[in-house]
A and B are shown apart, each in its own frame.
Chain A
Amino acid sequence: MPKLKSLEDLKRIREEAQKDLKVRLDTGTTITVGMGTCGIAAGARDTMHAILEELHKREIDAHVTTVGCIGMCSKEPLVDIEQAGHPRITYANVHPDMVPRIIEEHLIKGQVVEEWVFGRVTRD
């Protein structure tokens, strides 16, 4: 029964994760994907999947989270990237094929993909 073996895996993951949990939650990168009806209809779930795949492939430990309706139907799928010490950047109409470039330029090289930016919020 694979389920029992899987729960064993969880114990190991828990021990590993607890070593750097605080650091990760405090200073990591958070990517948020809008998952309201319009987002879903516009393909937000597949965009989220593309993000998870790309992060996995490149072994990047960013946090990924989903939110409900944020009232901007025509801009969906919306993807928001938040990194400690950087302005929060929101990309609009993000389709799966745009994800590798965003991960490459924004997360790896630290360069915002200006042409796809919809908004930015600077925190003080």
Chain B
Amino acid sequence: MRELSLHILDVLQNSLEAGASKVTLTIEEDLMADRLTITVTDNGRGMDADTVTKVLDPFFTTRTTRHVGLGLPLFAAAARRCNGDLVVESELGKGTTVRATFQHSHIDRAPLGDIRNTILSFLLAARPVDLHYVHRVNDRQFEFDTADIRAELGNVPLSHPAVRDWLSEFIAEGEQGIK
């Protein structure tokens, strides 16, 4: 995919499908170490040890609607092309962590891209899930937790038009601030 944020959306979507109620997305850009690290942690249903070993195989999927899983193997290939790797840790009934690393300056590394709309797509999911988001660029950081935002909103959903416009601006400003 042409943006890392599209891979991120795909991984977030896995967490949703795994029934997670809380997901943490951390993006760390360390220019000194020339590393980009993307971590998604969820409290979804998790996978057993056998499944975890198969999850990077492009022909493995537990879904019945199509025959190949694409998401994780594709993301892993992107990381490996850039002197990085993708690691999946999971425990049945506890949750899953997916961590992808890249050489930040690698010529083949896709840009992070439109992270704002990746987050919005996830937050507009029919089943609401809380997201803790952390984006660090060297020593600057943008962070929020939708649990705090929900607390302010009471019974008004994140998908309310006025709220989603607010979220869109809030994320755009936050990302701008760490550029």
Contacts and interface: CB of A to CB of B under 8 A. Distances in A.
Report whether over half of chain A's contact residues are helix, strand or loop; otherwise say mixed.
helix
Report whether over half of chain B's contact residues are helix, strand or loop; otherwise say mixed.
helix
A63 B173 CA distance: 23
A11 B6 CA distance: 32
A121 interface: no
Contacts of B13: 35-37, 40, 68-69
B21 to A, nearest CB: 16
B17 interface: yes
Interface string A1-36: 011001101110110111001001000000011011
A62 interface: yes
Interface in A50-74: 52, 55-56, 61-71, 73
A13 B164 CA distance: 11
Which size bracket describes the interface of A in this complex?
Answer: 35 or more
B124 A65 contact: yes
A48 B124 contact: yes
Nearest to A39: B13
